[in-house]
């Protein structure tokens, strides 16, 4: 098969969609399929990432970049859209020249590349829904209420196949649209994120390590994390908090760290290639995220054999059970701190949860996820060749 993947998110942008696109594309290529990623330029040309490198498969011609990525604030976080002159025409020219057998569009209701791709695609199309939102997300609820019929006709009905990474994504869309999505979750590289991964020597000094990994934006709960850490530190002094991540609001969030905690709060910035070593170095992984559709970082921590404390939200609830960690009430720093303290003071419990998480994560390997996606592609192409669509 010749597969095109359209996405607003790809390296050097970090996040769940970038991980999904890269890992499935890599494994599709390993299976003998031709794959090209269509995305936007970041920081001018998109050729450099953190530490001057882009984490991608070779050759570089397998990535087609058009337009320029820019950030917008929505759903409690910073999202990305692509802008540029003649963007629609450029994307149409790419699709006409590449002649893909199937076009896989990530977040198909999101402007601009995903929407444009569905408008001009003539080959078979499949879309993966990644986002959960609730009624508090005003742009989505108003937009989908006012434009639901047009969105259904022009975008959703254009799809030959629909995928959702979790039931929560489907639940968010069904009040507005007729959705018939197959759940194929995000995955994990279980060999990279492993209990056997080496830790980082600078954090191996006898102190307990709490890890927070994610963009520094309102949705990801950095403020709650710092509040909880203050409570943890008061009862368990021999502990540090490691913060991996950054974002346009990074300067603001760094200022939230109280002066008396700064010696034990390590803000290391964005990390890609050594992310597994940060998981390996921690005793507890924390994710106080308010809204999530799945939880890639939870899966990374589980695959690394680490116990988890996270806030209770729709997406996390689908993945994290009581055997792998604790889910605490949202916006409750005291409950979050108490759960972390329980794991710090009961290493045997943390070890048991870590083992359970590792076992569950093995069922989410990228190889299994890619196999499910490949079978779905084949089903779509078979039905399309017979003039049928998926029911």
Q: Is the pLDDT of residue 194 over 60?
A: yes
Q: What is the pLDDT of residue 273?
A: 83
Phi, then psi, of 29 in degrees rounded to 5: -65, -40
Q: Is the pLDDT of residue 298 over 70?
A: yes
Q: What is the pLDDT of residue 261?
A: 93
Among 23-37, 130-144, 255-269, the least confident range: 130-144
Model confidence at 47, pLDDT cuts 50, 70, 90, reads very low
CA separation for the pair 77, 10 (Å, rounded): 17
Question: Per residue in 145-184, pLDDT tens?
Answer: 667 688 899 899 999 999 999 999 999 899 899 999 999 9
Residue 132, judged by CB atoms within 10 A of its CB (0-12, 13-18, 19+), counts as buried
Q: Is the pLDDT of residue 13 over 90?
A: no
Q: What is the pLDDT of residue 75?
A: 54
Q: What is the pLDDT of residue 278?
A: 98
CA separation for the pair 310, 312 (Å, rounded): 6
- All structural domains of the chain: 2-187+365-385 (3.40.50.2000), 201-363 (3.40.50.2000)
Q: What is the pLDDT of residue 162?
A: 97
Model confidence at 55, pLDDT cuts 50, 70, 90, reads very low
Model confidence at 137, pLDDT cuts 50, 70, 90, reads low
Model confidence at 339, pLDDT cuts 50, 70, 90, reads very high
Q: What is the pLDDT of residue 391?
A: 59
> Which comes out higher in pLDDT, residue 309 or 254?
309
Among 10-14, 136-140, 252-256, the least confident range: 136-140
Q: What is the pLDDT of residue 14?
A: 81
CA separation for the pair 198, 345 (Å, rounded): 23
Q: What is the pLDDT of residue 131?
A: 83
Q: Is the pLDDT of residue 48 over 60?
A: no
Question: Per residue in 199-256, pLDDT tens?
Answer: 999 999 999 999 999 988 888 999 999 999 999 999 999 999 999 998 777 788 888 8
Q: What rounded mean pLDDT belongs to the chain? A: 89
Residue 278, judged by CB atoms within 10 A of its CB (0-12, 13-18, 19+), counts as buried
Q: Is the pLDDT of residue 46 over 60?
A: no
Q: Is the pLDDT of residue 52 over 80?
A: no
Global pTM reads: 0.86
Cβ proximity of 284 and 340 under 8 Å? yes
Q: How many CA atoms lie within 13 A of 40 on its CB side?
A: 26
Question: 229: part of which helix (H) or strand (E)?
Answer: helix 222-235
> Which comes out higher in pLDDT, residue 359 or 295?
359
Residues of the chain with pLDDT > 90: what percent?
A: 73
Q: Is the pLDDT of residue 290 over 70?
A: yes
Q: Dig out the tokens for 137 from the structure.
A: 């997300």
Q: Is the pLDDT of residue 42 over 60?
A: yes
**C-alpha separations of 302 from 195, 258, 342, 381 in Å:** 9, 30, 18, 35
């Amino acid at each position: 098969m010749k597969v095109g993947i359209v996405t607003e998110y790809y390296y050097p942008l970090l996040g769940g969609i970038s991980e999904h696109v890269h890992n499935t594309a890599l494994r599709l290529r390993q299976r003998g399929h031709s794959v090209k990623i269509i995305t936007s330029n970041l920081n001018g040309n998109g050729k450099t990432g953190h530490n001057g490198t882009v984490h991608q498969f070779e050759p570089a011609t397998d990535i087609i970049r058009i337009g320029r990525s820019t950030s917008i604030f929505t759903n409690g976080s910073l999202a990305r859209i692509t802008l540029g002159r003649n963007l629609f025409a450029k994307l149409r020219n790419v699709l006409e020249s590449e002649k893909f057998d199937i076009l896989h569009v990530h977040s198909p209701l999101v402007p601009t590349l995903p929407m444009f791709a569905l408008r001009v695609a003539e080959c078979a199309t499949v879309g993966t829904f990644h986002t959960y939102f609730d009624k508090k997300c005003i742009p989505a609820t108003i937009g989908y209420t006012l434009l639901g019929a047009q969105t259904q006709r022009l975008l959703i009905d254009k799809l030959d196949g629909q995928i959702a990474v979790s039931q929560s994504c489907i639940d968010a869309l069904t009040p507005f649209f007729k959705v018939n999505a197959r759940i194929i979750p995000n995955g994990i590289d279980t060999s990279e994120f492993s209990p056997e991964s080496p830790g980082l020597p600078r954090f191996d000094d006898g102190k307990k390590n709490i890890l927070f990994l994610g963009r520094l934006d309102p949705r990801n709960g950095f403020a709650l994390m710092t509040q909880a850490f203050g409570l943890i530190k008061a009862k368990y002094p021999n502990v540090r908090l490691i913060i991996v991540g950054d974002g346009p609001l990074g300067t603001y969030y760094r200022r939230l760290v109280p002066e008396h905690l700064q010696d034990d709060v390590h803000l290391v910035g964005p990390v890609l290639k050594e992310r597994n070593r940060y998981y390996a170095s921690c005793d507890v992984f924390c994710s106080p995220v308010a809204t999530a559709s799945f939880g890639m970082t939870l899966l990374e921590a589980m695959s690394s054999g680490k116990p988890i404390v996270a806030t209770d939200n729709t997406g996390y609830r689908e993945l994290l059970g009581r055997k792998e960690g604790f889910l605490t009430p949202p916006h409750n720093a005291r409950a979050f701190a108490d759960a972390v303290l329980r794991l710090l003071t009961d290493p045997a419990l943390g070890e048991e949860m870590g083992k359970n998480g590792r076992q569950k994560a093995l069922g989410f390997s990228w190889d299994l996820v890619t196999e499910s996606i490949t079978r779905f592609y084949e089903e779509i192409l078979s039905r399309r060749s017979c003039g049928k669509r998926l029911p």
